[in-house]
Amino acid sequence: MSVAEERAEAEGPLAQLEAQLAAYVEFAYSSPTRYELLFLTSADVERIRGMGLESTTEPVYEALERAVLRCKEHGYQFPVSFVDAGAEGNTVLFFVVAHGRVALATAALHDAFSVPQAIHAFVRTVVRSLVHPPAD
């Protein structure tokens, strides 16, 4: 995700957010077993942190949160302004959109629902529908 973020840097913070979400979807689709492993563990988070390690999804969340906060710093308007269990609400929203769409694709009953381009288009459309450019 960090590589996608760097590649989109010249296009601005919204492009970076979209690039990170696209990288997440691409990873999930191209490496389904590794992707599933991220969510199959029910690890003791406190124990993991006590060992100086991160949970498996923490780096993903942190990258998305940086992108959301960078957009906010540049004046982009977001749909919600709440904190969800200590987490920035828009970050949670976009993580859920990307993860949920991938999860639905893997459980799809027909192939058309699992086309990678459709997954990417859905996530991009949701982001562009919810994030508004800075006011002039």
Q: Is residue 10 in a domain?
A: yes
Number of domains in the chain: 1
Reported as type and span, the H/E element at residue 94 is helix 89-106
Per the domain annotation, does 49 fall within a domain? Answer: yes
- Check residues 30 and 53 and name the one with the higher pLDDT: 30
Q: Name 91's Cβ contacts closer than 8 Å, sequence gap at least 6.
A: 61, 64, 65, 68
The pLDDT of residue 55 is 60
Q: Is 84 within a domain? A: yes
User: Which amino acid, residue 59?
Assistant: P
**88 - beta bridge partners?**
83
Asked if 65 and 90 touch (Cβ cutoff 8 Å), the reply is no
Domain membership of residue 136 (yes or no) is no
Least confident of 45-49, 111-115, 118-122: 45-49
Q: Tell me which residue range forms the domain holding 89.
A: 2-130
* Residue with the larger pLDDT of the pair 70 and 106: 70
Class of residue 28 by CB neighbours under 10 A (exposed 0-12, middle 13-18, buried 19+): buried
pLDDT bin (cut points 50, 70, 90) of residue 39 is: low
Q: Domain for residue 135, yes or no?
A: no
pTM above 0.85, yes or no: no
* Domain-located, residue 55: yes
